[in-house]
Amino acid sequence: MLMAIQGPNFILPQKYKKLSLGFIVISVLILAAVIYLSWSRVIIIIHPNLEKINQEFIFNIRPGVEAGSSDDSITGKVLTAIVEETQTFAATGSKDQQFESNAVGSVIITNSSSKSQALVATTRLAYASDPKKTILRIKDNVEVPAGGQAKVSVYAETAESFVDIAAGSKFIIPGLWQGLWDKIYAQNDQILTKNSRTINFVTETDLSNAQNQLQEALYQKSLTAITGQLQSKEALWPRIATYKIIEVAPSAKVNDEVSEFSLKIKLQGVAVVFDESQLVSLAENKITQSLSADKKLIDLDAKSFNYALQNYNCDNNNAVIKVTLAGNSAIKNDSKLLDKSKLLGKTSLEIKSYFSQFSEVKSVDVNFQPVWVTKTPNSAGKIEVKISGN
């Protein structure tokens, strides 16, 4: 029978066990160090404070300017339209008039003949239908110029039988040659009465309001005419409009006793149109050049754009406009504030504390990788700094 031969048990000495364990620990530490050095990194996200920019520029408007022009010129042109109109307005001033004896008011004598006509006090006025029956007499001597008018007070021929005469009645002058009756005649623009009555007169406010109202109507009319001159692309451009009064001719002056008056105005409407895309490009370039090296323009607020016409020349089709606008700027990715050498070996709290000293920075997010890392690496290449929104 064969019998198994059992060798002696091999037992590793205790010191060798400790040495093996040490090698394992060292290997793990080396591996951890390799992983840390290979994979550890930090991403720092900067949330910038936007700085408000308010700028004002002067630009020249002229035809045919190419995009990207080096001077301060923008393509555009000056358009004009001349309009005129006459309107009638009511006189709103009023006062009570008391008549003496048989006075009943006043009439306007019109002379459409080629010679002036003198009329003495007591000259008779009558209806054309009954020339022999005198209704009124003029109170004072008056001379009516050829092609003109004169206003004169009148009184009733017979006060006892006088009946009020409505405004707009027409009277002949029987004392003149009959061939002149249709050329030299009288009319009353207000009621004739022997009692006290309210008369209207023109006030300064009447003239002012009438001019403002008619000016505005003509201004809008001129803009409509200008719009009709625009090409299709120009109709989409901004326009700065104004107007120039050429003529103002009221038929009455302040305190004239009339119930209504006419007003004629002649007006030139002016509109300057320009390519806004060129303007925005120029403005962006100018703002960018004015910023410090570590800042950049983020945006322009389209709602903030305000245009004002400084002057214009219709003859050479040029204009000068003032532009005010607002926008926002922020720090750039290559700003000196983001120097990575200042961020080596820092904790999240230290990083945030460092950036808190800069007004350009609103807040900071710090993301370590792997998650158990608590400090930034000592190599700038392992640090990534981003600007939020870029």
Closest CA to 92 of 209, 213, 216: 209
Per-residue confidence (pLDDT) for residue 259, from 0 to 100: 87
Tens-digit pLDDT profile for residues 9-31: 555 566 555 666 666 667 666 65
CA distance 157 to 136: 5
Per-residue confidence (pLDDT) for residue 159, from 0 to 100: 82
Residue ranges of domains in the chain? 99-195
**Res. 199: pLDDT tops 70:** yes
Peptide bond before residue 370 is cis, with ω within 30 degrees of 0: yes
Tens-digit pLDDT profile for residues 258-289: 889 999 999 999 999 999 999 999 999 999 88
Q: Tell me which of 50-54, 197-201, 335-339 is least confident.
A: 197-201
Closest CA to 169 of 145, 192, 194, 188: 188
CA distance 108 to 261: 14
CA distance 41 to 382: 5
Per-residue confidence (pLDDT) for residue 293, from 0 to 100: 86
pLDDT-derived band at 2 (thresholds 50, 70, 90) equals very low
The answer to whether 151 and 256 have CB atoms below 8 angstroms apart is no
DSSP assignment letter at 292: -
Between β-strands 73-90 and 51-62, what pairing exists: parallel, antiparallel or unpaired?
A: parallel
Mean of the pLDDT values across residues 238-267? 94
CATH for 99-195 (1.10.3470, 2.40.30, 3.30.1360, 3.30.1300): 2.40.30
Write out the two tokens for 184: 């030299």
CA distances from 237 to 155, 225, 272, 301, 366 (A): 66, 16, 10, 18, 47
**Res. 1: pLDDT tops 50:** no
Question: E-assigned strands of the chain?
Answer: 41-48, 51-62, 73-90, 93-97, 103-111, 117-119, 124-125, 136-138, 142-144, 148-156, 170-171, 184-187, 197-201, 239-250, 260-274, 295-313, 318-331, 361-369, 383-387
